[in-house]
Structure 1
């Protein structure tokens, strides 16, 4: 990136579910603004993370994983990801080092068919493969698409991430910053709080329960003396059986979700938090246009 002029732009991070897109963004920003879990399809919304450099600003766009969509919610997620290849200054296409390039070919070509920006292929999780295998992967991917760069990284350890950011900076046009230099994301605190609660559901429950959950922050009140933030949120599920799982025996699961969420929210807000959680059944909400809109998905 040139030091005698300011460069700025938008960069989309796309790929299959669970390849490490959100982990990579959190690593670049040096803080956690996007929730993560070991389950696919954790990210549902398009989230922007702002990274400032000497002489430049990169606005990274984290997207849901591209997958075979069945429910209306999943179709929204995939559409959100696919539209992110247009109108940006660069694209990071993430793949896993332990997945064959041949298995990615159709997804690559279909997803990037409408791309109008340089594409950097990011081979993530390089700590899982040997160097010889990594060189083979780079050569194989180079035959599939005219990538601007092929960059091996480990979002988990940080290996290669600094070089990736430098290469991304070199793709940006001259222009002013889009955001103040003291913020990491443009999403409101209420959104991040809801996502943190949903992350705990993803991490603590199994099977279809995490995928049937939507979280809404009902109240967010800060005391005038700045001593405490009072938050009430509702965990919406699709069936009575799921409500029972979220609450747990004698309310133990809901307490665990609340405790872990509160601790992380306090770190995020740098304040003491009183968190009250409710669970409500909204039958088949993931197929309802009205409820999807209410929950912020359409």
Structure 2
């Protein structure tokens, strides 16, 4: 790393489902955060580390800012506020495919509360929009604030303009040495990453009200003596018996699908074949119960 290297923290903000986690994964070059069509997929501050010739970017992925309906929702918003107060750069994201609306304006205005951080605007999902649409969005986003240090259109899917974004972000970081050793892409534990992979698999194809009710806990990760197989025991936690039935499916068919999808993501992470045992349990109204939230890591 060069003598005048820069390093620091950036976080992406925006409405749920504008592509923040996908953008983080694309920048880091590895799947660090799970992604889903469902809003509020991200539930923790997940750090991804990007090394560039001029320094190091630590990308902090956070939940989307939303109007909370449960104690969990409130805690997720509190988490976002805490992260925003700590980072060097806040990058506001809006998709090229949708007009800027009241939710975007509210989030952009809320950045006034974080005067320490530099501000960047990003128009995401340009691969899914035409030139006119992208231009329209750039104008709308530019008008949201007067203090953007940069306004950048990009596509996480195709990689278009990702280098431009990382170079711009690095310029805005303070001078200083790398914060993480070379070769580290995240400070997430293996247990956390495995739990998230299982939750991502469980989210696929579920009905609208169910995603918020799904949590995953890891009971055990243990390599077998021969080193060729790793045992993973995990619990999928839901709020009601009816939700448990949905997750398990007819004669266990849905749970088997979740298991095979999750296994495909876990095996490259642990470096062996995996024996995955999933148990579904009910923790009634856990999103609203402070004790249950604490047990589940919120």
Q: TM-score, normalised by structure 2?
A: 0.95
Q: Which runs of 5+ in 1 are unaligned?
A: none
| Rounded Cα–Cα distance in structure 2 between residues aligned with 1:133 and 1:257 | 37
Q: How does 1:9-20 map to 2 (within 5 A)?
A: 9-20=8-19
Secondary structure of the equivalent of 1:148?
A: strand
1:21/1:243 CA distance change after superposition, 3 Å = same
Q: Contact (CA 8 Å) 2:50, 2:57: kept in 1 or not?
A: yes
Alignment-derived partner of residue 254 in structure 1: 255
| Rounded Cα–Cα distance in structure 1 between residues aligned with 2:279 and 2:178 | 40
> Do structure 1's residue 181 and structure 2's residue 182 form an aligned pair?
yes
> Do structure 1's residue 93 and structure 2's residue 92 form an aligned pair?
yes
Cα shift readout 1:188-244 (whole Å, capped 9, x = no counterpart):
000010001111111132232221111000011123442211110000111000111
Q: CA deviation at 1:73?
A: 0.7
Q: Contact (CA 8 Å) 1:221, 1:231: kept in 2 or not?
A: yes
Alignment-derived partner of residue 161 in structure 1: 162
Q: How does 1:136-285 map to 2 (within 5 A)?
A: 136-145=136-145, 146-285=147-286
1:111/1:69 CA distance change after superposition, 3 Å = farther
| Rounded Cα–Cα distance in structure 2 between residues aligned with 1:205 and 1:134 | 32
Q: Contact (CA 8 Å) 2:203, 2:211: kept in 1 or not?
A: yes
| Rounded Cα–Cα distance in structure 1 between residues aligned with 2:115 and 2:266 | 37
Alignment-derived partner of residue 108 in structure 1: 108
Q: CA deviation at 1:159?
A: 1.2
| Rounded Cα–Cα distance in structure 2 between residues aligned with 1:110 and 1:88 | 15
Q: TM-score, normalised by structure 1?
A: 0.95
Q: Contact (CA 8 Å) 1:82, 1:111: kept in 2 or not?
A: no
Q: CA deviation at 1:12?
A: 1.1
Alignment-derived partner of residue 57 in structure 2: 58
Aligned residues: 296
| Rounded Cα–Cα distance in structure 1 between residues aligned with 2:235 and 2:19 | 28
1:144/1:72 CA distance change after superposition, 3 Å = same
Q: Contact (CA 8 Å) 1:14, 1:21: kept in 2 or not?
A: yes
Q: Contact (CA 8 Å) 2:97, 2:133: kept in 1 or not?
A: no
CA RMSD of aligned residues (A): 1.5
Alignment-derived partner of residue 135 in structure 1: 135
| Rounded Cα–Cα distance in structure 2 between residues aligned with 1:80 and 1:73 | 10
Q: CA deviation at 1:20?
A: 0.2
Secondary structure of the equivalent of 1:123?
A: strand
| Rounded Cα–Cα distance in structure 2 between residues aligned with 1:200 and 1:47 | 18
| Rounded Cα–Cα distance in structure 1 between residues aligned with 2:231 and 2:276 | 6
Alignment-derived partner of residue 72 in structure 2: 73
Q: Contact (CA 8 Å) 1:152, 1:160: kept in 2 or not?
A: yes
Alignment-derived partner of residue 44 in structure 1: 43
